[in-house]
Amino acid sequence: MSLSTAEALTDALREEARRLLAEGTVAVVVGWEAGRFPNQTTPAFISDPEQAQRLVYGDYCVNTLAKYALGEKAAGKVAVCVRGCDSRGINRMIADNQLLRDEVYLLGLPCSGMKDPATGSLLMKCRTCTEHDAVTYDVLLGPATAAGHDGASADSSAGDSEHVSDEQRFTAVLGIEEMAPEKRRALFDAAFNKCIRCYACRKSCPCCTCRECFVDQLRAGWQGKQNNLAENRFYNITRVFHIGDRCIECGECERACPMGLPLMALNRKMVKDLKSLFNADDAGMTEENSAALGRYDLGDLEEFM
Amino acid sequence: MPVNEAPTASAATAATAATAATAFEPTILAFCCHWCTYSGADLAGLNRMSYPANVRVLRVPCSGRVNPQFVLTALNKGCDGVLVCGCHPGDCHYVSGNYFARRRLMAFKRLLEFTGLEPERFQVRWISGSEAGKFRDTVIEVCDQIRALGPYRSGVSDDVSLNG
Ligand code: SF4
Ligand code: SF4
């Protein structure tokens, strides 16, 4: 987005946040503030109206904020800045009974894709994003971007990132599917071998909201504490399977992963299969829970006869 | 544990691999639903049908009980293949358990294969209480397939070629 757009949106955001806090409509506003390095931002939690000017919005707001709303809701109503990914995360948490819609106040923001502070190029997760603008909000702080989901205004020349087709979205998955099985095994063994099981992928995921994750159920003993290929594979495959039919494709897990695992290729493998096999909806577009593995159809494809 | 018997890839010459393959007997875990496949297996026994002893039958109340994590755990604990068997769709004792299992395991099978698991190592089959012959044939078929594939290497041991 242009500098003037970013400045105008930042001003509108600060003003709205200040008003909501001063009026007592919300207890806390979740947004972004400047980090320690140039072009770096960090999630901000503002509860004092005087502090609202700390908020910023621009090309480097890389964190998807949805998950942060959960941790703040004990304080009262939470205002959350939402773009496409954040809003779908909020919808997902409502569908999963983690949040009520009126526990949050959604500040809709247009988005033309965020940039990697290290390189200045469009973030990987934004290149394959299908919904740039908030799919749900209480107030919209700026006009929809051209690349948004609103088909009428779609104009591929206007935004920094263009509308993403299914083919683009599933490029990585298709590429891996075409490999020979041994190559796929080698690729994922190498990836799982790198995993340090920091669980940042789980922490950042708006679908991973279990009070007690299977990896922490020591007595059940699902997850061994050893860091070896077998345990790492067990963790990674289980994680994907637990969230695969609810994944909103915000790409936060992959962005958060310090070891560079291809987590979105795994997630999107499930998204793609569930879509083609069971006509699954894209997750988080509404507050309804329509997760494909939580239901069935008598006419489902039969391949186990 | 069979998994420890796997030769390390670096050391394996064609000759030792061939000997290992002929001597190899797979361990296969079969999750069988109490109401259908377990009875089918029982009937196979009553009819004195013979099938490979490589299969270990584990009775579950329903194919819907089979948590995909069971499959991963079985492979990590030394099984070379996993078979999940339940009632035919429409026949589930709990009405819908196998319909959920069907979706879940279809997606799970694809995910495992995506990460490079040979399709034969994880299979699902509907076998009713009267299909003793189908149970026997399925076990023979799966056993032959996995014997041909050789041992499954999960990387649980200190197999340096995997854990490197
Ligand atoms: S964030 Fe990466 S390294 Fe950490 S547990 Fe997840 S996959 Fe493993
Ligand atoms: S990995 Fe699975 S068990 Fe753990 S928090 Fe995520 S969904 Fe829950």
d(CA B101, CA B105): 6
Candidates A257, A220, A258; CA nearest to A239 is A257
ipTM: 0.91
What CATH number should be reported for the domain holding residue B39? 3.40.50
Assigned domain for B103 exists: yes
Please check the confidence at residue A154 and state whether its pLDDT lies above 60.
no
Query: Position of tokens 């090309």?
Result: A59
CA nearest neighbour of A271 among B114, B119, B72: B114
Is A180 an interface residue toward B (CB < 8 Å)?
A: no
Which residue owns the Cα nearest ligand 2 atom 6?
A: A208
Question: In whole angstroms, what is the distance from residue A246 CA to residue A97 CA?
Answer: 13
Domain count, chain B: 1
Average per-residue pLDDT in chain A?
92
Q: What is the mean pLDDT of residues B26-51?
A: 97
Cβ contact, residue pair B115, A266, below 8 Å: yes
In which band, very low, low, confident or very high, does the pLDDT at A152 lie, cut at 50, 70 and 90?
very low
Instruction: Report whether residue A140 contacts ligand 2, using a CB cutoff of 6 Å.
Output: no
Residue type, B90: G
Q: Is the pLDDT of residue A281 over 70?
A: yes
Burial class (CB in 10 A: 0-12, 13-18, 19+), A5: middle
Q: Tell whether B18 is covered by a domain.
A: no
Q: Sort out which chain B residues have CB atoms less than 8 A from A267's CB and list them.
A: none
Residue B7 lies in a domain: no
Q: Tell me if residue A168 falls in helix, strand or coil.
A: helix
Answer whether A188 sits within 8 Å of B116, measured CB to CB.
yes
What was the pLDDT predicted at A167?
A: 85
Sorted by sequence, the CB contacts under 8 Å of residue A139 that are 6+ apart come out as A16, A106, A107, A108
A213 neighbors A202 (Cβ within 8 angstroms): yes
B155 touches chain A (CB under 8 A): yes
Q: Global pTM?
A: 0.89
pLDDT by residue (tens digit) across B116-153? Answer: 999 999 999 999 999 999 999 999 999 999 999 999 99
**Does residue B8 sit at the A interface (CB-CB below 8 Å)?**
no
Instruction: Confirm whether B2 is domain-assigned.
Output: no
Using the Cβ of B19 and the Cβ atoms of chain A, whether some distance falls under 8 Å is answered with: no
Sign of CA dihedral B13, B18, B21, B22: negative
Structural domain for B136, as ranges: 24-149
C-alpha pair distances (Å), A19 with each of A7, A25, A47, B4: 18, 8, 12, 66
- What chain A residue is nearest to B128 in terms of C-alpha separation? A305
**B122 assigned to some structural domain:** yes
Ligand 1: residue of A188, A194, A195, A215 to mutate (most ligand atoms within 8 A of CB) is A195
3 state DSSP class of B136: helix
The 10s digit of each residue's pLDDT in A184-206 is 999 999 999 999 999 999 999 99
Are residues A293 and B104, on separate chains, in Cβ contact within 8 Å? yes
Ligand 2 geometric centre to CA of A205 (Å):
9
Statement: residue B104 has pLDDT above 70: yes
Is the C-beta atom of A257 inside 6 A of ligand 1?
Answer: yes
Alpha-carbon span A268 to A63, nearest angstrom: 20
On whether residue B43 sits in a domain, the answer given is yes
CA angle A28, A42, A22 (to 5 degrees): 25
Residue B64 lies in a domain: yes
B3 inside domain: no
Is any ligand 1 atom within 6 A of the Cβ of residue A215? no
Distance between CA atoms of residues B146 and B118, nearest Å: 9
